[in-house]
Structure 1
Amino acid sequence: MTTTGIRTAPPTGKPAHRDGNVLRWLSAYTASMIGDSVYFVALSWAAARSGSPAQAGLVLAVGSVPRAVLMLGGGVIADRFGPRRVVIGSDAVRCAVILAVAVLLFVTTPGSWLLVLVALVFGAVDALFLPSVGALPPRITAPGQLGRVQGMRGFAQRVATVAAAPVGGLAVAVGGPAAGFGVAGVLFAVSLALLMAVRVREPAPDEQAGTSETARRQLVGGLRYIRGHRVLAPLLLVAAVMELGFAGPANIGVVLLADERGWGAAGMAWTVGGFGVGAGAAALLLAVRGRVARAGAVQAWGVVAGSVALAAIGFAPSVGAAAVAGLCVGLCTGLGGALIGALVQTVTAPAYLGRVTSVATLFTVGIAPMTYPVVGAAIGAWGVEPVFAASAAVSAAGGVIGLCSRALRHAELPH
């Protein structure tokens, strides 16, 4: 056992970006992400055509409930039965459900009730899939490659974001929601086939979660493990606080900013595009370098710098200035976020990887989106500038928390 709590995977003689096993996992993850986005496009279009605007909003929102409620339980299941088994099983269920919906939509026109049911099932299965797929990297590569893997993962996220919109839009435009669900199902099938080909290092007996314990005791044990960890506790707090301040302005805030300033959809696209380019560049940098010295301190300073740039977007006098600020946000928070992910997987004992990943994911996909209506209402009441400034201050507080933790400041990625 190494000092980081992660055993070295069997050496392949290749860095992660040349390791076929890692590339299969990355390809599966990318296909799944594109499938997620195409599914959402198809669901949105089907919901808009099957009912009132209020019903469409309900369909789109309902899937987030089981995802948030069950996410921590998904981490327990990943640790209890192994992330590979859980990720393959959950991906198979997603594939079957979405393809079945595609067939139903092709032969009939069901009401909103079916779409609500699909969203609930998909959200529940996501609560299993996300912690498991995030917990796999330490089992498929050596500790010294985790930084590079997180960079590759971040870059894949940007590629998926760019590719998903035209793929989903074209599928729905050509064949309606049925075609959109069909394309999403095929992408999930591709992801499943690739995941089944990924070789995973079997855990040692001391790395396995105790199957004799109840699920509740395992969950409580995981939360206690996080709370008592000198690096992990402040690191997850940094990530959570950063997301709470960042998510609202970066999503709904940019839309309202462009509308208020009269920049239109093009202005919003340039600002969001700047963020995407910056985040992609930061992820690519980490993927190429593989390691950043003083990673704990760098990620905290990245959060602080990215928060300052986030505030600058709210005060930008032109589209160009907002796009440049968005580029800075992407560079800083993209690097900080990738380092947070690499550090989490480096310092977490293998027996707790699923539960720790579920806690980290909960804030990203479960709790942070709940700030969207709050930010929207606040901008409506007080305007863009004060809300962006206040949100950036919250996000920056996360970086300050990291800088105040001596253990986290001195945390390093393994060589």
Structure 2
Amino acid sequence: MTTVTPSSVAPHAPERPAYRDGNVLRWLGAYTASMVGDNVYFLSLSWTAVQSGTPAEAGLVTAVSAVPRTLLLLGGGVIADRFGPRRVVIGSDAVRCAAVLAVAAVLVAARPGLWLLGALALVFGTVDAVFMPAVGALPARITTHSQLARVQGLRGMATRFANVAGAPLGGLGIALGGAAGAFALAGLLIAVSVPLLASLRVRDAAPDDAPGAGRATARRQLRDGLRYIRGHRVLAPLMVVIALGDLGFVGPLNVGLTLLADERGWGASGVGWVLAGFGSGAAAAALVLAVRGGVPHAGRVMAAGVLAGSVAIGALAHAPGLPAAVGIALLVGLLTGFSGGLCGALLQTRSDPAYLGRVSAVASLVSLGVAPLSMPLSAAAIGAWGTGPVFLVSAAVCGLGGVVLLCFRDLRRAELPR
């Protein structure tokens, strides 16, 4: 049972597309500001760390946040479900904003060294552990199920925009105000999200009705969430698909592409063009999903996108020249962006809202656990066998995700609400 507060979405409000819903647009503004702030923060952290220490020390500082984020992520999902995702996201952004602005203020007066940057990274990683599951759980509370596919498309567009705009803004902050100015800019961008999130109308599950709530311990709620996912006929195989997709995709795109460009003589500009092709395709997929919403036979369409995308990934290493590689990368972005958006929409619509924070936490942990493993493996394999065979193996791993989609009947037949 769901209790709707007076400030929540009216149950009989006329249906409107998510991109015309003021509630969704306020969420989108908050999410975009927060993500742009994140990008500015990471650039500022890495640049300041490099200026303050050796390359090895700078690498350690930038990697510090990954430890608490990975260790605490599942607990963060429990917190998001127990206290509600909006409350958790607001609190997380407030803490992140305060931490970054505090560091900016310290840097104005002194140069305390790497310990301050390490402490900031540790705080950010700890807060991210509760922020990420809450961000994943919030869309289902601000709109109807029939609009969640559009929301995933809007989220994808916001992510692409943040990736493109964050680096130049961070560079501008550093150029105009040094490290302190860049951190201050990041904090102010994150701060923009707080009043927008506070103005959202949300549907909140009543604490007494939410499975695993009430007097249940956090450990029991975590076990309940894992048991819920394991026994779900759509979510359980979908987690396997996510893991296979990240294992086969992240390494080639992040490490293999640079080595491929070096092998072909494309140079740094060539890497930029290929990445621009990929980003354009992913942005186009997000735009289509945001405007059109759900598609019929979502499970089968997603499987087709994964299988076709895996073929394109394998073909990337065999492109005859840079223009062809850019075109193939655009196709990879389009196919993987569309199938990834459908994956996110299925996670949102097939999860009980009371478990959505824990579901989002497990999905994020699967990605975070696989991605760091795939990059050194890809680099080592390319050094031993070259780019062509490794890209083909990566394509096969991604394609296996499409096979899993087709093999599980409930996932294959999954539909999105319309």
TM tier, smaller: over 0.9
The answer as to whether partners of 1:79 and 1:209 remain within 8 angstroms in 2 is no
Match of 2:65 among 49, 63, 69: 63
Aligned to 1:255: 258
2:400 is the counterpart of 1:397: yes
Could you tell me which residue of structure 1 aligns to residue 50 of structure 2? 48
Shift of 1:256: 1.6
Aligned to 1:10: 11
Task: Compute the displacement of 1:208 (Å).
Answer: 5.1
Matching of residue 363 in structure 1 with residue 366 in structure 2: yes
2:124 paired with 1:119: no
Measured against aligned partners, the alpha-carbon deviations of 1:334-387 in whole angstroms (never above 9, x if no partner) come to: 000000110111010111000001111123344313322222222222221111
Counterpart contact for 1:80–1:208, Cα < 8 Å: no
Q: 2:152 aligns with which of 150, 153, 167?
A: 150
Identity of aligned residues (%): 63
CA distance in 1, matches of 2:12, 2:210: 19
1:162-207 superposed Cα distances (whole Å, 9 cap, x missing partner)? 1111111111122222111111000110011211111111214534
Q: Quick one: which amino acid aligns to residue 412 of structure 1?
A: E
The within-5 A match list for 1:82-93 is 82-93=84-95
Instruction: Determine the structure 2 residue equivalent to 1:327.
Output: 330
Indicate conservation of the 8 Å contact 1:62/1:116, yes or no: yes
The worse-fitting range, judged by mean Cα deviation, of 360-369 and 381-390 is: 360-369
Alpha-carbon displacement from aligned partner over 1:223-258 (angstroms, at most 9, x marks no partner) = 110010011111121112111111111112211211
Alignment of 1:206-245 (within 5 A): 206-207=209-210, 209-245=212-248
Taking the aligned partners of 1:140 and 1:11, their CA distance within structure 2 comes to 14
State how far apart, in whole Å, the 2-side matches of 1:402 and 1:207 are.
Answer: 30
**How far apart, CA to CA, are the structure 2 residues paired with 1:254 and 1:9?**
48
> Is the CA contact (8 Å cut-off) linking 1:79 and 1:208 kept in structure 2?
no
Q: How does 1:298-317 map to 2 (within 5 A)?
A: 298-317=301-320
How does 1:74-113 map onto structure 2 within 5 Å? Answer: 74-113=76-115
Deviating beyond 6 angstroms after TM superposition, the runs of 4 or more aligned structure 1 residues are none
How far apart, in 2, do the equivalents of 1:162 and 1:370 lie?
Answer: 26
Of 160-169 and 368-377, the range deviating more from structure 2? 368-377
Aligned to 2:409: 406
Aligned-partner residue type, residue 56 of structure 1: A
1:9 deviates by 6.7
**2:5 — aligned with what?**
none
Q: For structure 1, which runs of at least 5 residues remain unmatched after alignment?
A: none
CA contact (8 A) 1:64 1:366 kept: no
Task: Note the 1:162-173 alignment, pairs <5 A.
Answer: 162-173=164-175
Counterpart residue type for residue 323 of structure 1: V
8 Å Cα contact 2:233/2:410 also seen in 1: yes
> Which amino acid in the other structure matches residue 219 of structure 1?
L
Tell me if 1:386 matches 2:389.
Answer: yes
Per the alignment, residue 130 of structure 1 pairs with: 132
Instruction: Judge conservation of contact 1:151–1:285 (CA < 8 Å) in 2.
Output: yes
**Residue 275 of structure 1 contacts residue 328 of structure 1 at CA under 8 Å; is this kept in 2?**
yes
Please tell me the residue identity of whatever aligns with 1:399. Answer: G
The whole-number CA distance in structure 2 between the counterparts of 1:319 and 1:10 is 53
Instruction: Report how far residue 278 of structure 1 moved.
Output: 0.6
Alignment-derived partner of residue 318 in structure 1: 321
Q: State the TM-score, normalizing by the size of structure 2.
A: 0.95
Partner of 1:187: 189
SS for the counterpart of 2:289 is: helix
- Number of matched pairs: 411
Q: Deviations over 1:242-293 (max 9, x none)?
A: 1111111111221121122111111101111111111111111011111111
2:344 is aligned with 1:338: no
* TM-score normalised by the chain length of structure 1: 0.96
Contact 1:71 1:362 in 2 (8 A): yes
Alpha-carbon shift at residue 134 of structure 1 (Å): 1.2
Tell me if the contact between 1:275 and 1:326 (Cα under 8 Å) persists in the aligned partners: yes
Q: Whole-Å Cα distance in 1 between the matches of residues 380 and 107 of structure 2?
A: 36
**Kept in 1: contact 2:160–2:279 (CA 8 A):** yes
Query: For structure 1, which segment, 26-35 or 382-391, has the greater mean C-alpha deviation from structure 2 after superposition?
Result: 382-391
Task: Please tell me the residue identity of whatever aligns with 1:380.
Answer: G
Q: Give yes or no for contact 2:43–2:170 (8 Å, CA) kept in 1.
A: yes
Amino acid at match of 1:103: A
**In 2, Cα distance between equivalents of 1:344 and 1:352:** 11
**Residue equivalent to 1:20:** 22
**In structure 2, distance between residues paired with 1:374 and 1:9:** 51
| Equivalent position SS for 2:134 | helix
Partner letter of residue 18 of structure 1?
R
| Residue of structure 1 equivalent to 2:268 | 265
Kept in 2, the 8 Å contact 1:171–1:179? The answer is: yes
Which consecutive residues of structure 2, in runs of 5 or more, have no partner in the other structure? 3-7
CA distance in 1, matches of 2:99, 2:352: 34
